[in-house]
Structure 1
Amino acid sequence: MKHYHYIFAGAGLSGLMTVYRMAISGRFNDASILLLDTDTKKENDRTWCFWQRGITIWDDIILRHWNTALFASQNFRTDLDFDGYEYNMIRGIDFYNFVLAELKKHSNIAFAHQKVTDFADLGMHVLVKTDVESYTCNKLFNSIYNPALPASQKKYPLLQQHFIGWHVKTDTPAFNAHKPTFMDFSIVQKGNTRFMYVLPFSGTEAIVEYTLFSKDLLAIAEYEEAIKQYLTDKGITEYEIVDKERGSIPMTSYKFWEHNTKNILNIGSAGGWTKASTGYTFKNADKKSREVVHFIQSQNDFTKFYKKNKFWGYDLLLLDILARKNHKGSAIFAAMFKNGKAAPIFKFLDEETTLSEDLAVISKCPKGLFINALLRRMLNL
């Protein structure tokens, strides 16, 4: 049975970000590292977007970036003032190629296309079983999400950011290449939080995505009919569907980190790295992967990695509201973005604000909803 210093169960966004940072740090050249995943990472299976001020280590693979975006509600439309932020888009295939090209330079890092079937912390080491063979390691990073964990309890609500997107191409210009649509709540809500999301590559090409924040997924035909109707309403009737993408991202404040052990760290969605209130993944995973690589250079107990902060509580209150009154999402986001100033909200969602800055953002929201949610939490209703 082969032994490694570190094993990654799953090589998705969080796993690849973490091992990439380990590789470029130069601090782990003597450590044996194994990534286990059935996916060969040779397909463009998703698109990630994130806002950022300044440079990132991912700048070379940013396909498009924008300095403004459209926000729309049932009652108004506004161009968002990013005030120095950029909204960036990265294709999955570009990210995979970028990371894997770096990993190939490191002989101490191996990738096995195997399915992880079980793992256990045995105290002195971790046992990892796959459908092919078994391994041991000093430390395991697990990014295999177990939906049964948040679904098995009622204390912390579980919603999904679920969507289908069409990559469409038109013969004549139909999109504003310089302005994505960040959230368009002007569509029929049907008792949920539903919006359209448009990422333009050019005047004739864009990803048009129908997204919901809700508990239950829809039939595929319902997402696609909504996209088709949205395009028709925009006067876009002649187009080619180049590609499609589909996803469902958990939105919950469930305490995934309580399942960490001394030698097993849950990362990505499996570790609660997804931003609970929005479902955004890339930026949070980037920050957490940096923290993990710093942590393992000086500490040995993964139960000490995570610390709950005030933003966990903010996210929980929003999810409490959306779980009970899912149709209120449009009004909440419209109130936040009504004045068009996106930068303070981006900073707040990045969990980088002071208490006074928190209050400035929260004060924009419908106060009754949040006060009621806070009281229900305090009274355990």
Structure 2
Amino acid sequence: MKHFDYIFTGAGLSALMTVYKMVQSGKFNDKSILLLDENPKKTNDRTWCFWDDSNGIWETIIQKKWNSALFADENFRRDLVLKPYQYNMVKGLDFYTQVFDLVSKQENITFLNQKVLEIEESENLILVQTDTESFSCTKLFNSIYNKQKAESQTEYPVLQQHFIGWFIKSEQPVFNPEQATFMDFSVEQRGNTRFMYVLPSSEREALIEYTLFSENLLQNQEYETEIQKYIKNLGITDYEIVEKEQGSIPMTCYPFWKANTKNVINIGTSGGWTKASTGYTFKNSDKKSSQLVSFLQRETDFTKFHKRTKFWFYDLLLLDILDRKNEIGSHIFSSMFKKGNPSLIFKFLDEETSFIEDIKVILKCPKILFIKAIFHVALKAIKL
């Protein structure tokens, strides 16, 4: 049985960002590292988007940037000037290529295309069993999401950001390539929080996604029927579907970090790294992975890594409302974006605002709903 200093079970976004930054730091060259994942990471299996106000380490793989975004519902449309932010799109394959171009050159790092079956932890050693081999390590980073653990409990709401998206080429030049559609709630809500999301790369090309924030997924045909209706309403009569993508991202404030031990840490969605109120993952994982790499250089006890912030409580309030009254999601987001400062809202969603700035954003939301939610979730916050 081969032993490693560090094993990553799952090589998704959070794991690959962490390993990439470990290499960049130059502080882990003496550590043996194993990445395990059943997916070889050689296909364009997803698209990530994030907003930023500076050029970071992922700058070279950003495929498209937008300085403007559209927010709409059945009653109004608003062009959002994002300055100082830009809205960025990264394709999965480009991200994997950048990471593995660096990681593959490191003699101390091994990537194996194997499925993890079991993790067994003793006091000073962790054993990992895959479908073909067994390994041991001193520290383990787990990003394999345990759906049953989160969804079998009833104390914390668990919604899904679920979607199907079509990359299309249209014969008609209908898109504005300089503006992304951030949320378009003008589609029928049908008792849920439903919106369209459009990322145009040219006047004739765009990703169009039908997205819901709700508990239950739909049949595939339901998503695709709504995409077809939306395309028709845009005035497109002739188009080609170039590619499709599909996903379901958990939205929850469930305290995943409580399962961390001295030698095992849950990261990514499994560690609560997804932004609970929006389902956005890339920027949060970017921040958390940097924090983790710094943490590894000064600490050895993983139970000390997580720190709960005020934003966890804000997210809990929204999820509590959407869990009980999913049909009013459009009303909440419209209230926020109708008159709110777009850059301040994005800063708030990035968890970088001061308390005074928090209040400015929160006051744009329906006040009675959030006051009631405070009383409803207060006990959960106190218990943690």
Q: TM-score, normalised by structure 2?
A: 0.98
Query: What CA distance in whole angstroms lies between the structure 2 residues aligned with 1:56 and 1:66?
Result: 16
Asked whether the equivalents of residues 214 and 323 of structure 2 are also in contact (C-alpha less than 8 Å), the reply is yes
Secondary structure class of the residue paired with 2:39: coil
Counterpart AA for 2:238:
E
Q: Name the structure 2 match of 1:62.
A: 62
Counterpart AA for 2:214:
S
Counterpart AA for 2:87:
Y
Q: Name the structure 2 match of 1:195.
A: 195
Q: Name the structure 1 match of 2:214.
A: 214
Counterpart AA for 1:150:
A
Counterpart AA for 2:35:
L
Q: Name the structure 1 match of 2:170.
A: 170
Asked whether the equivalents of residues 172 and 238 of structure 2 are also in contact (C-alpha less than 8 Å), the reply is no
Q: Name the structure 2 match of 1:180.
A: 180
Query: What CA distance in whole angstroms lies between the structure 2 residues aligned with 1:341 and 1:74?
Result: 21
Q: Name the structure 2 match of 1:21.
A: 21
Identity over aligned residues, as a percent?
Answer: 61
Alignment of 1:355-366 (within 5 A): 355-366=355-366
What's the CA shift for 1:149?
1.1
Q: Name the structure 2 match of 1:239.
A: 239
Asked whether the equivalents of residues 164 and 224 of structure 1 are also in contact (C-alpha less than 8 Å), the reply is yes
Asked whether the equivalents of residues 115 and 131 of structure 1 are also in contact (C-alpha less than 8 Å), the reply is yes
Secondary structure class of the residue paired with 1:30: coil
Counterpart AA for 2:19:
V
Asked whether the equivalents of residues 82 and 341 of structure 1 are also in contact (C-alpha less than 8 Å), the reply is no
Query: What CA distance in whole angstroms lies between the structure 1 residues aligned with 2:151 and 2:238?
Result: 42
Query: What CA distance in whole angstroms lies between the structure 1 residues aligned with 2:160 and 2:376?
Result: 22
Q: Name the structure 2 match of 1:115.
A: 115
Asked whether the equivalents of residues 71 and 181 of structure 1 are also in contact (C-alpha less than 8 Å), the reply is yes
Deviations 1:338-363 (A, max 9, x none): 12631111111111111111101000
Secondary structure class of the residue paired with 1:211: strand
User: Which moved further from structure 2: 340-349 or 245-254?
Assistant: 340-349
Asked whether the equivalents of residues 8 and 142 of structure 2 are also in contact (C-alpha less than 8 Å), the reply is yes
Counterpart AA for 1:70:
L
Secondary structure class of the residue paired with 2:179: coil
Alignment of 1:215-364 (within 5 A): 215-339=215-339, 341-364=341-364
What's the CA shift for 1:268?
0.4
Give the aligned length.
380
Query: What CA distance in whole angstroms lies between the structure 1 residues aligned with 2:281 and 2:86?
Result: 17
Q: Name the structure 1 match of 2:130.
A: 130
Query: What CA distance in whole angstroms lies between the structure 1 residues aligned with 2:348 and 2:160?
Result: 21
Q: Name the structure 2 match of 1:37.
A: 37
Query: What CA distance in whole angstroms lies between the structure 2 residues aligned with 1:141 and 1:375?
Result: 36
Counterpart AA for 1:119:
I
Query: What CA distance in whole angstroms lies between the structure 2 residues aligned with 1:364 and 1:251?
Result: 22
Counterpart AA for 2:287:
K
Deviations 1:211-251 (A, max 9, x none): 00000000000000000000111111210000000000000
Q: TM-score, normalised by structure 1?
A: 0.98
Counterpart AA for 1:147:
K
Query: What CA distance in whole angstroms lies between the structure 1 residues aligned with 2:219 and 2:205?
Result: 26
Query: What CA distance in whole angstroms lies between the structure 1 residues aligned with 2:67 and 2:221?
Result: 34
Counterpart AA for 1:304:
K
Q: Name the structure 2 match of 1:375.
A: 375
Q: Name the structure 2 match of 1:146.
A: 146
Q: Tell me, which stretches of 5 or more residues in structure 2 are unaligned?
A: none
Q: Tell me, which stretches of 5 or more residues in structure 1 are unaligned?
A: none
Counterpart AA for 1:105:
K
